[in-house]
Chains A and B, each alone.
Chain A
Amino acid sequence: MSSTYDRLVGLLTKGFGVEADEVAPENTFEDLELDSLALVELTLAAQEEFGIPLTDDDLHAKNTMTEAAGVLDAKQVTVR
C-alpha cells in the first residue's frame, strides 16, 4: 500500500474513532460511518497532514480508501 493510504488510515484512527484493523482499501467513508460533516473534518485534517489544498468536493462518502488515497496523491503531484 502507498504511504498516502497509510497516512489516510492514520488520520482516521487518530481523530475519527476508526481502528486501523477495521479499515480495508475497498471500504468507503460511508462504510466507516463518516457522513458529510465528518468528511469536512477529514478534509481539514488531510490538508494539514499532506500540506495540500483540498476543497469539500474532493472527498466523497462513496469513495473507497484506495480512491481517496488516489485523490490525495494527485493533489500532491500538482503541488510539486
Chain B
Amino acid sequence: MTAAGGRYDAAVTGIGMVTPAGLGTAASWDRIKSANGTAAQRVPALSGIPADIGCWIPGFDPAATVGKRKAWRLDRSSQFAVAAAAEALADAGLDPAAWDGARVGVVLGSGIGGAATWEKQHNVLLGQGSEKVSALLIPMLAVNMSAGYVAMEFGARGPNFVTATACASGSTAVGAARELLRGGHCDVVITGGAEACLVPSIISGFQQMGALSVRRGEPTAASRPFDVDRDGFVPAEGAAVLILERPESARARGARVRAHVSGYGASADAYNATAPEPSGAGAELALRAALKDAGVDPRSVDHVNAHGTSTPLNDLMEARLIRRVLGDRPAVTSVKGVTGHSLGASGAVEAAVAVLTVEQGIIPPTANLDSQDPEIDLDVVTKEARPADVEVVVSHSFGFGGQNAVVLLTRP
C-alpha cells in the first residue's frame, strides 16, 4: 500500500524462527528477551578444531517438518528454511492448499549454502574417490536451494531466489521481497534467511581471519556487542522467515498485520573485503536510503536493532553511524549477545525480532554488556528487556564484501 507521502508498506503477517535461542518464534523470543546467551563450547559439528564454540541448535528434528523420507535429501540450511517457513505460514493463517501458488514468491538469504554437505562430500572425494561422491551433492549445497525447497514444500510457484550478501543476506532478502509486492509480481512473499555453516572448514576460515571471539573458556559471555572487552563474533546457525503481503489484501482476508516493512536501503562500501569502512560512510548510504524510502525523519527513529556483531571494528563503526545519523534518541540493541551471529540468516532473525518489538513494545536487551565501550556513546539496552513505545525501528546488516542492507519497520 502506498501510505501518505508515497511510502510503500508491506505487511508482516507471519513469523517463523528456528534459532539457537529456541525452536519456534515464541521460544526464540523468550530467550532473546532473557539476555541469556546460547553459545556453547565443544559444538559437536566443530569437533577437532580449536574454535569449537558456537550457537547451534540441538534437538532440531527435520523430519518433523519435511518428513523422514525427504529430510535426508536436504542440507541442514534448507531444513531450517522449510521449518521456519512452515511456522510463518501457519502463523499468518495461510493455507498452501488453497492459495494461487503462482502469486506466491520466495526470497531467502544465505551466505554460504550447504556447507556441511560440501565439506562431507569433499572428504569423501579425498578419502574414497570421485565415484563415491553423492549424487545429491549439488542440490544439497547450492546456495539457492533453501528457497527452492520452500517452494517445493508449499507449492509457491512465483518468483524464487536466494540473495547472497554475506551477513546482510537476510536483510537483502526482505528488501527484495517487498519490491516483488510493490512491483505487483506477487501477492504473498515468503522471505527471510537460513544458514548452517558450523563446520570445521568454514569456522577455521573465520578463525584464521581473527573474526571470532577467543573467549573459549566462557562461551556464553563470548558474544558481547558494544562491550569494551568484546573480541569477535560467535558463529551461529538458524533461520527466520517473515510472510509479507499487501496491507489491504492482508486485512481483507482478516489477517493480523504485525508490523509494516516501510523502507529499505542498500549500499556497498567499495573499500575492503572484510573490514568495514571505518567512518561508516558506506553503511550510512544504506541507512539514509532506507529512511528516505520510508519518508522517515532520522530524528524520529525510536529503536535500532543493530548489526552489533561483537567485533571491535563493526560495533565502533556502527555506533558512530547511529550517533551521527540518528542522534542520541534511539534505544539500541544487538540480539547477537544471545543468538550469536547466524551470518546470512541474521538479518532475517533480527527483522523478526524487530517485528516483535514493534508489536509488543518490548526492546530485548544486549547480553553481556557489562562495561560499555567508552567510545560508544549510545543508549544501549542491557541487562533487562525495556518496555518502549516503538513506532519506527531500523535493522542494520553489514556483510563481508562491504555489502550493507537496512530494513525499516513501522507500527501499522
- Chain B 57-95 interface residues, beta-carbon cutoff 8 Å to A: 63, 67-73
Contact of B135 among A15, A17, A33, A37 (CB under 8 A): A37
CA A32 – CA B69 in complex, angstroms? 8
CA A26 – CA B19 in complex, angstroms? 42
The reply to whether B132 and A44 contact each other, CB–CB distance below 8 Å, is yes
CB neighbours (8 Å) of A32 from chain B are 69
CA A18 – CA B67 in complex, angstroms? 10
Contact of B68 among A19, A38, A41, A44 (CB under 8 A): A19
Of all chain B residues, which has the CB nearest A43? B135
The reply to whether B70 and A17 contact each other, CB–CB distance below 8 Å, is yes
User: Size band of the A side of the interface?
Assistant: 10 to 19
A20 to chain B, nearest CB (A): 12
In this assembly, does B139 line the interface, its C-beta being within 8 Å of a C-beta of chain A?
A: yes
In this assembly, does A40 line the interface, its C-beta being within 8 Å of a C-beta of chain B?
A: yes
B135 to chain A, nearest CB (A): 4
Contact with B along A15-52 (1 / 0, CB 8 A): 11111000000000000110001101100100000000
CB neighbours (8 Å) of B134 from chain A are 41, 44
The reply to whether A37 and B136 contact each other, CB–CB distance below 8 Å, is yes
Interface size of B by CB at 8 A reads: 13
CB neighbours (8 Å) of B68 from chain A are 17-19
CA A15 – CA B69 in complex, angstroms? 10
CA A19 – CA B63 in complex, angstroms? 12
The reply to whether A17 and B72 contact each other, CB–CB distance below 8 Å, is yes
CA A40 – CA B69 in complex, angstroms? 16
Contact of B139 among A19, A33, A37, A44 (CB under 8 A): A37
Contact of B69 among A33, A41, A44 (CB under 8 A): A33
Contact of B63 among A16, A17, A41 (CB under 8 A): A17
Of all chain A residues, which has the CB nearest B139? A37
- Chain B 99-150 interface residues, beta-carbon cutoff 8 Å to A: 132, 134-136, 139
CA A20 – CA B70 in complex, angstroms? 16
CA A37 – CA B138 in complex, angstroms? 11
CA A38 – CA B136 in complex, angstroms? 8
CB neighbours (8 Å) of A19 from chain B are 68
Contact of A33 among B70, B132, B136 (CB under 8 A): B70
Question: A41 with B136: in contact, given A15-B72, A16-B72, A17-B72 (CB under 8 Å)?
Answer: yes
B280 to chain A, nearest CB (A): 47
CB neighbours (8 Å) of B67 from chain A are 17
CA A18 – CA B68 in complex, angstroms? 7
B349 to chain A, nearest CB (A): 28
B66 to chain A, nearest CB (A): 10
CA A37 – CA B132 in complex, angstroms? 13
CB neighbours (8 Å) of B132 from chain A are 44
CA A41 – CA B67 in complex, angstroms? 19
CA A15 – CA B72 in complex, angstroms? 7
13 of the cross-chain contacts (CB-CB < 8 Å) are: A16-B69, A17-B67, A17-B69, A17-B70, A17-B71, A17-B72, A18-B68, A33-B69, A37-B136, A38-B136, A41-B135, A41-B136, A44-B134
Given contacts A32-B69, A37-B139, A44-B132, 6 further A-B contacts (CB under 8 A): A17-B63, A17-B70, A18-B69, A33-B69, A33-B70, A41-B135
